[in-house]
Amino acid sequence: MKHILITITLFLTLTSYSQKGKVIYTATFSFDSFYKSKGESDSNESDKDYIENTEDIECELTFNKNESYFKKNDKIVVKKSKFNITNIKVGRGEFYHNRKDNETIEMYEFFGEDFLITKNKIIWEFENETKTISGYLCKKAVTVLKLSGRNGIIERKVIAWYAPKIPISFGPKNYNGLPGLIISLQEGDFFYIATKIILNTTKDILITKPTNGKNMTQNEFDIIIADFNRNRKKYMKRLK
Amino acid sequence: MKKLFILVAFAITFALMSFTNSAKKIKKVDPLLYDVCDEEATAAADRWGWSEQEEGAWFWECIEANQ
């Protein structure tokens, strides 16, 4: 009887605390990881500006029972610099996710236009490896991103460490759908780590689906942005 | 299949056209700044292995940081 009561209490605690909350992630670009993956022993002179200007960025994920919202922390001033690789990697977009519909939309402002990009679904592969991160026992899941790049398709390995004890299927950017909160995530040489987890906040968290912008798929947006990147001069000439 | 292809081509052309038209909201960019950012964005994309979206973001950060 005692065991049953403990189990019920634990179940209720887990399900109730996971209804709403906030997670702060720190985003970091690792030059060491980059050089290692490139087989370069050390930085070269042309990277100097990037090394000097790349800074960590704080991001926040808010969530309720079915939806989440991910963006850079408004309260922290991010240095405006083309050389801050972390800023480029985090991106200019904000992310809305609906767990029930399994839909993620990136709100992206580009060239004076607002876009609502429906992100491609992520297919995770589960691995047996475990690791304790920030006091949470985490399990590993991986996926490979296929992104359009200047020289063709870029494959980027993504490793997520999620905590099954926190039954929230959300995470940074469009990385969702795991059976536990993502505590740490590696996307190539770029890392997110949860530095603050606030569960079961007293304040209600209202998240609304974005509607302001042009709807399109990631593939459609890639065509637009590739056209922009190849013909920037043409676009610039049209500005008044 | 042919109809579908025409529809997709039309949708992409329309999206590109409307994107170009809406770009009028942005202020004219100094040609010198454009040349610098264009060249550096291409080089940075090659160096850091960026996606199209990341390269576009870099170019735009460059313009905004210097305007």
Q: If you write DSSP's letter for every residue of A22-56 in order, what string do you get?
A: EEEEEEEE-HHHHHHHHT-SS--GGGHHHHHH---
Q: Does the distance separating the beta carbons of A221 and B53 come in below 8 Å?
A: yes
Cβ pair A61, A171 in contact under 8 A: yes
Across A200-222, average pLDDT: 90
Residues from chain B contacting residue A148 (CB–CB below 8 Å): 51-52
Mean pLDDT over A6-26 rounds to 65
Average predicted confidence (pLDDT) for chain B: 76
Residue A227 pLDDT exceeds 80: yes
ipTM for the complex? Answer: 0.84
Strand-pair category, A113-118 with A103-110: antiparallel
- Percentage of the residues of chain A whose pLDDT score is greater than 90: 62
**Per the CB < 8 Å rule, is A239 touching B16?**
no
CA distance A139 to A130: 5
Nearest by CB to A112, which of B16, B25, B31? B25
CB contact under 8 A, B57 and A92: yes
